[in-house]
Chains A and B, each alone.
Chain A
Amino acid sequence: MYAQLVDTGTKRLKTLEEMSPEEREFQEKVDAEIKIEAKNWMPDGYRKTLIRQISQHAHSEIVGMLPEGNWVTRAPTLKRKLQLMAKIQDEAGHGLYLYSAMETLGADRDEEIQKLHDGKAKYSSIFNYPTLNWADMGAVGWLVDGAAIVNQVVLQRTSYGPYSRAMVRICKEESFHQRQGYQILLDMMREGTQEQKDMVQDAINRLWWPALMMFGPHDDESPNSQQSMVWKIKRKSNDELRQMFIDQTIPQLEFLGCTAPDPDLKWNEETGHYDFGDINWKEFYDVLKGDGPCNRERLATRRKAIDEGAWVREAAVAYAAKQKQRAAA
């Protein structure tokens, strides 16, 4: 999931009786699964929540290029290099696409990016972890894109039309990335040397828990979930999504011949789901607050790119203005 702890600005849900006629009409539409479009009336809180969520999602796509950029210059074969480059290109495309969806809500891309750089907006916690060996490129594709897909497949049914349609398109590409990531790991496990197999297990050990944290806090610790669910921005709870992810991932993990760094992980015959150990929530909140391994570096890199690129963007604007003037003359 690329959006975590998105603030809805509401303390308590309103009943239909408490709503204004406009609000009630809006809620009835949402309840009837009719998509809300940019020009429709919507509660202020709904608009703001969506802007926060979609911008967080877009920022995540862009910041998420950095841990992959860390290895794209060192990809070991032409095939793997081309695959990784294509994946990164897709992510930049997703970022652009999501920023556009966000702008349909009246938000401004530059302002939202500024909020990110000022530390007022977030991106997914996962991208604050370092990528330390080549197998991380496989594990990121498999686990991180995999976790994102579990969330995004559900978001294809989100109530806001432009966001929902963006998800349909993005999901197709993400599942491709996930399969590619898994293939990297599978090839190394099947045909690789012991050193390569060790890389794979090491990558899984480091990224396993951060991937599970992508789904956000437990449902009872997620103050905004209820409102987001009523607005159908969110369609399934954090814990439900996390469980779905674990249930689908463990057979793939076993097929690889690898293990998860969780001694409590086991199949529960009664529930029909996997049980798993406690997430280190202190680490999760530390990373969200800025105290993760790479928070400072990731933000500094993004700030530097945008700050040092200011003159480039100004040149483009100045040139366009001159061209317009010339055309008018």
Chain B
Amino acid sequence: MTEQQALQNYLLRLADSDMILGQRLCELCGKAPAVEEELALMNVALDLVGQARNWYEYAAELIDDGRDADKLCFLRDAHDYRNLLLVEQPNGDYAVTMARQFFFDVWHYFTMKSLENANDERIANIAAKAVKEATYHLRRSSEWVKRMGDGTEESHRRIQDAFDLLWRFTGELVTPDDTDHAMFKAGIGPDPEQLKKDWFGMVREVAAQATLTTGAEDAWMYMGGKKGVHTEHLGFILAEMQFLPRAYPDATTW
């Protein structure tokens, strides 16, 4: 794998994870537990899809095979998607939605913090904007994890169940592969060891405040999203999300 290939791969991962989580949040439109949450969910989703667009645009320029950001988003099938398995998991109840968001936000925050200093100016600029949004997302999801964990008996049970349910998808966030190593070596991506330490540190800290327990670092982990091997959910997400461009391939403008 050349550094160029690693970079393209890495950008698609960032884009796809933002996109798929944004898509999951869109599914909740009009279905949130309070009006304030409607506003906040759409706000977070908007940030994520906006970031996805930035990453897709850069990826499209580097790939340079005639595909633009829209084509990368709407015309790749599941095996070409590189998102984390975590973000394609269904919304579940609001505890699952929020646990998924929290695990992602911690990863996202530290990743953007690091990318802000990437020696690739384009990436650094996108990340500099994204880190502001990710900071807010993380503050919000941490607060909800604490409210649920240290709220009522029912909310505690639900968020603990959600942590237990999703824990197996968190390994992928902090287990580096060749692409991650190559990006670190190139002075772009975060130090995998540091990212892992930061992720566990913050997750455990918030969990403790929320009176929740987390799984073990060496627990069995379900991985594969970063290399295009997904759970059964992604195919359905894409079937919905990509419906129009695929049903009307002759349409060049919308």
The answer on a CB contact under 8 Å between A312 and B33 is: yes
Given A77-B74, A191-B252, A65–B152 Cβ distance below 8 Å?
no
Given contacts A62-B30, A76-B245, A314-B152, 14 further A-B contacts (CB under 8 A): A66-B30, A74-B243, A74-B244, A76-B244, A76-B251, A78-B73, A89-B39, A96-B35, A193-B248, A302-B30, A305-B31, A312-B148, A315-B154, A318-B155
Q: Which of B1-44 contact A (CB under 8 A)?
A: 23, 26-27, 29-39, 42-43
B33 closest partner in A (C-beta): A309
- Name which of A66, A195, A312 has the most chain B CB atoms within 10 A of its CB: A312
| A255 in the interface (beta carbon within 8 A) | no
The answer on a CB contact under 8 Å between A78 and B49 is: yes
Interface residues of A (CB under 8 A from B): 62-63, 65-66, 68-69, 72-78, 80-82, 85-86, 88-89, 92-93, 95-96, 99, 134, 184, 187-188, 191-193, 195-196, 301-302, 304-306, 308-320, 322
Interface residues of B (CB under 8 A from A): 23, 26-27, 29-39, 42-43, 45-46, 49-50, 52-53, 56, 69-70, 73-74, 93-94, 146-148, 150-152, 154-155, 158, 240-241, 243-245, 248, 250-254
Query: Given A68, A73, A196, A316, which contacts B27 in the complex, CB threshold below 8 Å?
Result: A73
- Min Cβ gap B43→A in Å is 6
The answer on a CB contact under 8 Å between A65 and B33 is: no
- Min Cβ gap B222→A in Å is 25
The answer on a CB contact under 8 Å between A85 and B49 is: yes
- Name which of B29, B33, B73, B248 has the most chain A CB atoms within 10 A of its CB: B29
Q: How far is the CA of A320 from the CA of B34 in the complex (A)?
A: 16
- Min Cβ gap A203→B in Å is 14
B155 closest partner in A (C-beta): A315
The 7 A-B pairs with the shortest beta carbon distances in the complex, nearest first, are A309-B33, A315-B151, A69-B29, A315-B155, A76-B244, A92-B38, A312-B33
- Residues in A whose Cβ lies below 8 Å from that of B151: 314-319
The answer on a CB contact under 8 Å between B49 and A315 is: no
- Min Cβ gap A176→B in Å is 15
- Residues in A whose Cβ lies below 8 Å from that of B93: 308
A109 closest partner in B (C-beta): B35
- Residues in B whose Cβ lies below 8 Å from that of A313: 33-34
- Min Cβ gap A130→B in Å is 14
Given A74-B241, A82-B49, A89-B43, A316–B147 Cβ distance below 8 Å?
yes
The answer on a CB contact under 8 Å between A78 and B46 is: no
The answer on a CB contact under 8 Å between B254 and A96 is: no
The answer on a CB contact under 8 Å between B56 and A308 is: no
What would be 15 A-B contacts, judged by CB atoms less than 8 Å apart?
Answer: A65-B30, A65-B38, A66-B30, A73-B27, A76-B245, A78-B52, A82-B46, A92-B35, A191-B252, A192-B254, A193-B248, A195-B250, A196-B248, A301-B30, A311-B152
- Residues in B whose Cβ lies below 8 Å from that of A308: 33, 93
- Name which of B74, B148, B244, B245 has the most chain A CB atoms within 10 A of its CB: B244
The answer on a CB contact under 8 Å between B146 and A319 is: yes
The answer on a CB contact under 8 Å between A89 and B147 is: no
- Residues in B whose Cβ lies below 8 Å from that of A320: 147
Q: How far is the CA of A22 from the CA of B251 in the complex (A)?
A: 65
- Residues in B whose Cβ lies below 8 Å from that of A187: 253-254
- Residues in B whose Cβ lies below 8 Å from that of A62: 30, 35, 38
A134 closest partner in B (C-beta): B244
The answer on a CB contact under 8 Å between B240 and A188 is: no
The answer on a CB contact under 8 Å between B251 and A195 is: yes
- Residues in B whose Cβ lies below 8 Å from that of A68: 29
- Residues in A whose Cβ lies below 8 Å from that of B240: 73-74
- Residues in B whose Cβ lies below 8 Å from that of A302: 30
- Min Cβ gap A200→B in Å is 11
Q: How far is the CA of A207 from the CA of B147 in the complex (A)?
A: 43
A96 closest partner in B (C-beta): B35
Query: Given A66, A76, A80, A85, which contacts B26 in the complex, CB threshold below 8 Å?
Result: A85
The answer on a CB contact under 8 Å between B56 and A78 is: yes
- Residues in A whose Cβ lies below 8 Å from that of B53: 78, 82
- Residues in B whose Cβ lies below 8 Å from that of A312: 33-34, 37, 94, 148, 155
- Name which of A89, A188, A191, A192 has the most chain B CB atoms within 10 A of its CB: A89
Q: How far is the CA of A309 from the CA of B35 in the complex (A)?
A: 11
- Min Cβ gap B210→A in Å is 9
The answer on a CB contact under 8 Å between A309 and B32 is: yes
- Residues in B whose Cβ lies below 8 Å from that of A77: 70, 74, 245, 254
- Min Cβ gap B55→A in Å is 11
Q: How far is the CA of A304 from the CA of B243 in the complex (A)?
A: 27
Q: How far is the CA of A304 from the CA of B30 in the complex (A)?
A: 10
